[in-house]
Amino acid sequence: MKNNATQRLKGQAALVTGSSSGIGAGVAKAMAREGAKVVVNYSKSPEGAEKVVQEIRDSGGTALAIGADVSQEDQVLRLFERMYEAYGTIDILVNNAGLQKDAAFVDMTLADWQLVLDINLTGQFLCARQAAREFIRRGVVPERSRAAGKIICMSSVHEVIPWAGHVNYAASKGGVMLLMKSIAQELARHKIRVNSIGPGAIKTPINNEAWETPEAEKKLLALIPYGRVGEPTDIGDVAVWLASDESDYVHGTTLFVDGGMTLYPGFAENG
Ligand code: BGC
């Protein structure tokens, strides 16, 4: 473990939704390393969540797995209650749970559309609302942070880049952008900081087809000026900074962590 003086989230309670794998697992581990007590939320994979919890505990951190489908209001309420039973409160919410259900637009079923909107957008609404209620009730605890609470929404480069074949996903992330900004505008007076991270292509199970084979990876790299596919630790490190007082004046913004994917590299030698 790092020594306490460098633990930027020391004593804070963090909930990372959807952290049994992928970016969420990377964020949960990074926050635990910085001294946060972490809730590893999962919906489908208790085994994955327990593995993340064990890894955190093995390196001296504090973590607990709690199951809940973030699109279900009763489950979200119970998730927060169980977190408060364990840690007393919440200081950091990382609204990370998300999925893809890809289909050509004309073949997309209402169920495909609804599922993605329910998890990726409604889930973020439900969790942010619960966290904000607790932040307002409790207020600032100066020993822990300058803010009364921090909300980090996991968005995507697809909050700005249109994505054929994935319109449900892109619409959900476009929605997350204005959800985040509107919450940020409304909650600033309570000293609640709200921001998004917009990852580009990160090596996780959600997009393994896009980077698993050398051919696929080569094609993907044409979209990434910086020349490498990201890793969950790239996002974990940024999430720690965004949750810490080092970013205390950063509010209502999306930080793209994408190796330059949002620079529209197709225009580098064209247009
Ligand atoms: C998607 C990935 C995709 C990346 C870049 C992410 O939001 O979940 O599947 O590789 O955006 O397009």
Rounded average pLDDT over 70-78: 98
Rounded average pLDDT over 251-262: 98
- Predicted pLDDT at 4: 54
Q: Is 103 exposed, middle or buried (0-12, 13-18, 19+ CB in 10 A)?
A: middle
Rounded average pLDDT over 84-103: 98
Name residues whose C-beta falls within 8 Å of residue 216's C-beta, 6 or more positions apart in sequence: 209, 210
- Hey, is 198 helix, strand or coil? strand
CA atoms of 109 and 224, how far apart (whole Å): 31
Residue nearest to atom 4 of ligand 1 (CA): 201
Q: Which residues pair with 13 in a beta bridge?
A: 37
Share of the chain above pLDDT 90, in %: 97
Q: Which residues pair with 150 in a beta bridge?
A: 92, 193
CA atoms of 233 and 229, how far apart (whole Å): 12
**C-beta 210 within 6 A of ligand 1:** yes
Has residue 3 got a pLDDT over 90? no
**C-beta 95 within 6 A of ligand 1:** no
CB 100 within 8 A of CB 75: no
Has residue 143 got a pLDDT over 80? yes
Domain ranges (residues) in the chain: 13-259
Mutate to test the pocket of ligand 1, among 166, 168, 202, 231 (most ligand atoms within 8 A of CB): 202
Residue 155, token pair as written in the block: 């968005």
Has residue 94 got a pLDDT over 80? yes
- Predicted pLDDT at 6: 80
169 is catalytic: yes
Rounded average pLDDT over 67-93: 98
CA atoms of 112 and 94, how far apart (whole Å): 24
User: Topology of 13-259 in CATH?
Assistant: Rossmann fold (3.40.50)
Amino acid present at 88: G
CA atoms of 62 and 212, how far apart (whole Å): 33
Relative to beta strand 149-154, strand 92-95 is parallel
CA atoms of 263 and 222, how far apart (whole Å): 12
Residue nearest to atom 3 of ligand 1 (CA): 201
Rounded average pLDDT over 233-251: 98
Name residues whose C-beta falls within 8 Å of residue 122's C-beta, 6 or more positions apart in sequence: 71
- Helix locations, 91-231, DSSP H: 110-117, 123-138, 167-187, 214-221
Of 121, 154, 168, 174, nearest to 239 by C-alpha is 154
Relative to beta strand 92-95, strand 37-42 is unpaired
**C-beta 206 within 6 A of ligand 1:** yes
Catalytic site residue from 42, 87, 169, 264: 169
pTM over the 0.85 mark = yes
CA atoms of 77 and 68, how far apart (whole Å): 9
Dihedrals phi, psi of 101, to nearest 5 degrees: -140, 85
Rounded average pLDDT over 204-215: 93
CA atoms of 194 and 151, how far apart (whole Å): 5
CA atoms of 193 and 249, how far apart (whole Å): 9
Task: Report pLDDT digits (tens) over 18-42.
Answer: 999 999 999 999 999 999 999 999 9
Residue 51, token pair as written in the block: 């593995």
Q: How many H helices and E strands in the chain?
A: 8, 7
Q: What is the mean pLDDT of the chain?
A: 97
Share of the chain above pLDDT 70, in %: 98
Task: Report pLDDT digits (tens) over 104-124.
Answer: 999 999 999 999 999 999 999
Rounded average pLDDT over 91-106: 98
